[in-house]
């Protein structure tokens, strides 16, 4: 299969990135400093990520909010202008087709950012439900993420009006002479921004940001370890067509207006099943696992109770560079999901002790004003 390239492909190679196939793209997994140092740098300063492989879509037309509410359980109708919401495309069984971010740009205009691996199916899914609206795919638009405690100071030197931009809000701006749309959001648990900009200007803006003190390039490897420490779901791991929002711990993504008794209850795929799960609780729940010692656990490994019986499965795992040790997320039987519960993971026939802990593993530091 021929891999696609983002507008920053040449820059990644110039910076010495190790490139790997990811969701149909040739992407940087790490740079010469390595994943651990990139992770730690993002936690203490500012990391620049190329996320141009993500899908950027604009839905326009009367009834766009109502249309989106037939596809996701979020409160889209009640979303303020330039406000964002996390959302899930659900299926008829309440499983998750994809997760996405929706931003209201205007009364009948919405900006959607979807996962790269699900981009084609998401576009087809929305197009199949259009009722006079239009869906534009921003194929000539790049997406950069500047994340970390130093990100705000860096970006505000170039664009001072962003100083008061709070978490899950966005605004149009001019960055070094380029018209962009910037949101206060990200996938690391840190304060930070995502910058949607013309592909033709992406390399110049990336170089401008990398020239700022405290900014370093960061690849997909550290992006994954950062989101794991932050307790954030990754599609294909914590989310799938057979995993529902309630067992995933994402009931908060079902807007109050969309829940039983709400002003616009239901109306999204799998709504009745979600309501049943709210009432009766799913058999499994997503939990964080603190691993004893330094030996890592892996995705797909079996979780055991104290009697050695299988009670779940690891869905994400890795080295928590902030914590200095391995961490994991797993789906386990609901009764065994309380913090402090002692379990084990079967690592090549050996039961490695783990403890259920509250997530996130590292406190989130979103800027809320």
Instruction: Give whole-number Cα distances, 358 to 177, 305, 319, 332, in Å.
Output: 44, 18, 17, 14
Longest dimension (CA), the chain: 64
Mean pLDDT of 183-197: 98
Tens digits of residue pLDDT in 147-161: 999 999 999 999 999
Mean pLDDT of 240-245: 98
- Between CA 145 and CA 222 the distance in angstroms is 13
How does the average pLDDT of the chain come out, rounded?
Answer: 98
Q: How confident is the model at residue 128 (pLDDT cuts 50, 70, 90)?
A: very high
Q: Strand 178-183 to strand 302-304: parallel, antiparallel, or no bridges (unpaired)? A: unpaired
- Between CA 273 and CA 264 the distance in angstroms is 16
The two structure tokens encoding residue 364: 């989130």
Q: Which residues pair with 27 in a beta bridge?
A: 20
Tens digits of residue pLDDT in 99-121: 999 999 999 999 999 999 999 99
Mean pLDDT of 151-172: 97
**Nearest 10 degrees: CA dihedral of 96, 98, 99, 100?**
-150
Q: How confident is the model at residue 231 (pLDDT cuts 50, 70, 90)?
A: very high
H or E segment to which residue 302 belongs? strand 302-304
Q: What is the pLDDT of residue 1?
A: 78
Q: In this structure, which topology does domain 283-369 adopt according to CATH?
A: Elongation Factor Tu (Ef-tu); domain 3 (2.40.30)
Q: What is the pLDDT of residue 291?
A: 97
| Phi-psi category of residue 261: left, alpha or beta, with phi > 0 → left and psi -120 to 50 → alpha | left
Q: Where are the beta strands (DSSP E) in 13-72?
A: 18-22, 25-30, 46-50, 55-60
Instruction: Give whole-number Cα distances, 75 to 94, 235, 258, 270, in Å.
Output: 17, 21, 7, 16
Q: Where are the domains of the chain?
A: 1-281, 283-369
The reply to whether 283-369 shares the fold of 1-281 is: no
The yes-or-no verdict on residue 144 having pLDDT over 90 is: yes
The two structure tokens encoding residue 311: 């009670």
Preceding amide of 360 cis, omega within 30? yes
Q: What is the pLDDT of residue 36?
A: 98
**Nearest 10 degrees: CA dihedral of 129, 135, 139, 145?**
-90
The yes-or-no verdict on residue 329 having pLDDT over 90 is: yes
Q: Is 294 exposed, middle or buried (0-12, 13-18, 19+ CB in 10 A)?
A: exposed
**What one-character DSSP code corresponds to residue 202?**
H
- Between CA 306 and CA 275 the distance in angstroms is 33
Q: What are phi and psi of 224, to 5 degrees?
A: -70, -45
Q: In this structure, which topology does domain 1-281 adopt according to CATH?
A: Gyrase A; domain 2 (3.30.1360)
Q: Strand 192-198 to strand 141-147: parallel, antiparallel, or no bridges (unpaired)? A: antiparallel
Tens digits of residue pLDDT in 284-304: 999 999 999 999 999 999 999
Q: What is the pLDDT of residue 293?
A: 93
Whole-model pTM: value is: 0.97
Q: Yes or no: say if 71 and 125 are a contact pair by the CB < 8 Å rule.
A: yes
Q: What is the pLDDT of residue 235?
A: 98
Q: Which residues pair with 286 in a beta bridge?
A: 331
The yes-or-no verdict on residue 10 having pLDDT over 90 is: yes
Q: What is the pLDDT of residue 210?
A: 98
Q: Which residues pair with 356 in a beta bridge?
A: 289
């Amino acid at each position: 299969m021929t891999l696609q390239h983002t507008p920053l492909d040449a820059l990644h190679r110039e910076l010495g990135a190790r490139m790997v196939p990811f969701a149909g793209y040739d992407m940087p997994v790490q740079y010469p400093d390595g994943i651990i140092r990139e992770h730690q740098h993002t936690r203490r300063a500012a990391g620049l990520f190329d996320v141009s492989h993500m899908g950027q879509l604009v839905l326009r037309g009367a009834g766009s909010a109502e249309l989106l509410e037939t596809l996701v359980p979020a409160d889209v109708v009640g979303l303020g202008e330039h406000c964002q919401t996390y959302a899930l495309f659900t299926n008829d069984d309440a499983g998750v087709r994809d997760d996405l971010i929706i931003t209201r740009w205007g009364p009948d205009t919405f900006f959607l950012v979807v996962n790269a691996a699900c981009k084609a199916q998401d576009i087809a899914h929305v197009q199949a439900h259009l009722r006079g609206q239009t869906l534009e795919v921003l194929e000539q638009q790049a997406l950069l993420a500047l994340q970390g405690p130093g990100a705000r100071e860096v970006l505000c030197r170039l664009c001072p009006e962003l100083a008061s931009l709070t978490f899950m809000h966005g605004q149009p701006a001019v960055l070094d002479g380029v018209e962009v749309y910037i949101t206060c959001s990200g996938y690391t648990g840190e304060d930070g921004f995502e910058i949607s900009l013309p592909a033709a200007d992406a390399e110049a803006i990336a170089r401008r940001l990398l020239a700022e003190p405290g900014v370093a390039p960061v690849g997909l490897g550290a992006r994954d370890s950062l989101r794991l420490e932050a307790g954030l779901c990754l599609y294909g791991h914590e989310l799938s067509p057979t995993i529902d929002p309630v067992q995933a711990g994402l009931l908060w993504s079902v807007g109050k207006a969309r829940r039983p008794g709400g002003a616009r209850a239901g109306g999204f795929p799998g709504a009745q099943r979600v309501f049943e799960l709210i009432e009766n609780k799913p058999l499994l729940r997503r939990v964080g696992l603190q691993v004893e010692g330094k030996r890592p656990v892996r995705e797909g490994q079996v979780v055991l109770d104290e009697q050695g019986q299988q009670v779940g499965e690891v869905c994400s795992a890795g080295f928590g560079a902030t914590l200095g040790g391995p961490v994991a997320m797993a789906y386990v039987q609901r009764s065994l999901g309380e913090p402090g519960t002692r379990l084990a993971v079967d690592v090549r026939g050996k039961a490695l002790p783990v403890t259920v802990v509250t997530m996130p593993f590292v406190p989130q530091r979103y800027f809320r004003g």
